[in-house]
Amino acid sequence: MRLFGRSLSLPLLGFVALVAGALALAALAPAPGHAAADAPVPLQMTQGSELTKEEDRKVRETLTHYLTALQKRDWREAARDLDRTSFLAGVEPMVSSISSDSTTRPGALRTVFGVSSMDSVRISSTEDLFASLMGYVSQLDPGGMALMARAKFALLGARRLQDRIHIAYQLTVPAERDSLQPYTRVTAEQMIRVGKDWKIVFRMGN
C-alpha cells in the first residue's frame, strides 16, 4: 500500500500495509495443495540475545493484543500498545509528505490527525490521534482493511538487540478461492521498554 505518495513501514500501519496488496499477490499463480500454507515457517533467529521467559511472554502478549485490536478496527485499544514518543516524532514527517506547503499543512494535519497544530497534537491522546489516522487510512484503502480482518498471524520468535526487542511474526491472508494461493509473509516489529510495559516503536520508512 502506498500512502501520501510513499511506501509506509510503520508498526501501526505495517499490518494494514502487508495485507493491502495480498489479494493481487495471491492471484499470481494457482496453488494445488497449499493446505498448510498458514503453518508457521521455521525461523532461527541468531542475532542479538535471548529474552527472559517473562520478557518473551510480555512482548508476545503486547503484539498479539495489538494485532487483534487492528483486526477488530478497535483503533483506541490498539493505540495502547504504541510508544507515544516515537509516534509523536513521526507526525510531522507524515504531514510534510502530504503537504510541502506550510500554508496548507494545518489542513493536512487536520485531515489525518484531527487537529490543526502541532501544539494540539502534543496535548492530544495517542488514542485520539491514532483513531483519526486509521480512520483516514480506512477511507483510502477499504479493501485493505477488509483483508486485514481475514488475516491470520503466528508469532515466531523474539531477540534483544541493544535497547530494543525485535519480534518476528508470520502473516497469512487466506485465498478467496481454491485456485489461488494464500498470501504469506514474515515481518517483524520493534519494541522498547516504557516503564513496566513493552511498547511498539513507530517507524517511518522510505
Confidence at residue 186, expressed as pLDDT on a 0 to 100 scale: 87
Structural contact between residues 156 and 170, judged by C-beta atoms closer than 8 angstroms? yes
- Name which residue leads in pLDDT, 184 or 158: 158
Q: How far apart are CA 203 and CA 189, in angstroms?
A: 9
Confidence at residue 27, expressed as pLDDT on a 0 to 100 scale: 32
Structural contact between residues 184 and 172, judged by C-beta atoms closer than 8 angstroms? yes
The overall average pLDDT reported for the chain is 79
Structural contact between residues 13 and 137, judged by C-beta atoms closer than 8 angstroms? yes
Q: How far apart are CA 97 and CA 93, in angstroms?
A: 6
- Name which residue leads in pLDDT, 47 or 99: 99
- The cell for 74 is 478497535
Burial of 189: CB neighbours in 10 Å, binned 0-12, 13-18, 19+: buried
Q: Tell me which residue has cell 487466506.
A: 174
Q: How far apart are CA 11 and CA 169, in angstroms?
A: 12
Asked which of 9-18, 25-34, 86-95, 169-178 is least confident by mean pLDDT, the reply is 25-34
Paired strand residues for 159: 166
Q: Tell me which residue has cell 509523536.
A: 88
- Structural domain spans, the chain: 2-28+50-200
Tell me the mean pLDDT in the region 145-158. 87
